[in-house]
Amino acid sequence: MRPRISSISIGLTVLICLFSLVLAGRDFYKILGVSRNANLNQIKKAYRKLAKELHPDQNKEDPKAQEKFQDLAAAYEVLSDAEKRKIYDRHGEEGVQKNANMGDSQDPFESFFGDFFSFGGSREERNQRPRGGDLVMDLWVTLEEIYSGNFIEVVRYKPVARPDKGTRKCNCRMEMKTYQMGPGRFQMSQEQVCDECPNIKFVNEEKLLEIEIEPGMRDGYEYPFISEGEPHIDGDPGDLKFIIRIEKHKRFERRNNDLYTNVTISLQDALIGFEMELEHLDKHKVKIVREKITWPGATIKKKGEGLPKYENNNIKGDLYITFDIDFPKKELSADHKEMLKQIFGQESKFKNYNGL
C-alpha cells in the first residue's frame, strides 16, 4: 500500500505545482524584456520598441502575432500602472484580475502611439462624430536628446466638460418637415431640430503629458496625443500633435544619421601630425590620431560615431571631421624662411582656376 500512497502524493504534488503555474499567469516582466526593478521610463521604452515589432499589421504571416501583441498590451497595462504593478508583484496576474477589470480599460497601444496604426471600427466611429480642432505645436529638442533619448514632461491645461445648471440645445440637425397648405396642397421645408441636453461648462484641468524622445528621431516627426486637442460640446475633442524640432548645435550638424563637425588645428600639428580626443554628444571621447600632413579642408571619417538609426538603434551613422588650419600670425626671419625652403624642397607654384 505504501508505494500506492507515494504515487498518489507525487501526483497531487505535480497537480498542485501545475495549478500554481496556471494561477501565476503570464510573466509580464519577461514579455517586456525588463528586470523586476525596471523604472517606468524603461518599461515605456521597451513597450514602444516591442509594439512596433510585434504589431499584427507588421506580422501578417505569423499566426500567433495577435496573441503576442495581446500579451504585450496586457504586460504594459499592468506594469505601467503603479497600483496594478504592486498587486502583480505580490499576487501575480490572478491578483490583478481580481482587483481590476482589465477588459474595460483603453487599448494601451492606441493611447501610447496615437493613430500610427489603424485599429478599424473604433476610429471610424469616432470620425463620424463632430470633433474639436487639432492643436499642433513645435517641440524643440537638443541634438544630445536625439542621440541618447529622453523623456520630456509637458503640462497641459485642458478644457474638460463638467455639469452645469439648466439645459441646452444639442445634437442639432436639419430635417425635412411637411406642412398641409390646404386640400391636396403640401409644402416641404428644411428646419433645424435639436434635442434638450443637460447643460455643461468647460473647466481647465491640469494634465501631465510625457513625451519620449527616441534616439534617431527625425526633425519634423509627429508625436500625437489622441483626444487632447480642442473640445467639442457635442462630440469628441481633437488631437494634440507635437512636431519634433531639433535645435541647431554649436559643434555638430546632422545629415540623416551622419554627424559633421569642424576642428581647428595649428600649422605645426598639421605638418607633423597630432593626437586628440573629441567630446561626443553623450560626453564619451572619440580618439583621433593623425601621423601624416593634414591640409586645409581635409576630412576624416569615424565609422559608427554618428546618430543611432531610428528604426534600429544598434545601427549608427558616421562622424565626419573636417580640419581647418590656424596659421601663425608672427613674421618669419630670413633664416627661418630659408630653412623652410630646404625642408619642403618645393618650387613656387601659382595656378589660377575657378574653385566655385
Distances from the Cα of 341 to the Cαs of 41, 46, 336, 347, in angstroms? 63, 64, 9, 9
pLDDT, one tens digit per residue, over 64-114 is 888 888 888 888 888 888 888 888 888 888 887 877 544 444 555 544 554
Which H or E element spans position 35? none
pTM: 0.60
Which strands, in side-by-side order, build the sheet including 222-225? 135-141, 240-246, 222-225
Handedness of CA 260, 266, 271, 273 (dihedral sign): negative
pLDDT, one tens digit per residue, over 15-26 is 444 444 444 578
Distance CA 254, CA 82 (A): 38
What pLDDT score does 273 carry? 93
Three-state DSSP class for residue 302 = strand
Q: Is a pLDDT exceeding 50 seen at residue 118?
A: no
Q: Is a pLDDT exceeding 90 seen at residue 249?
A: yes
Burial of 311 (0-12, 13-18, 19+ CB in 10 A): exposed
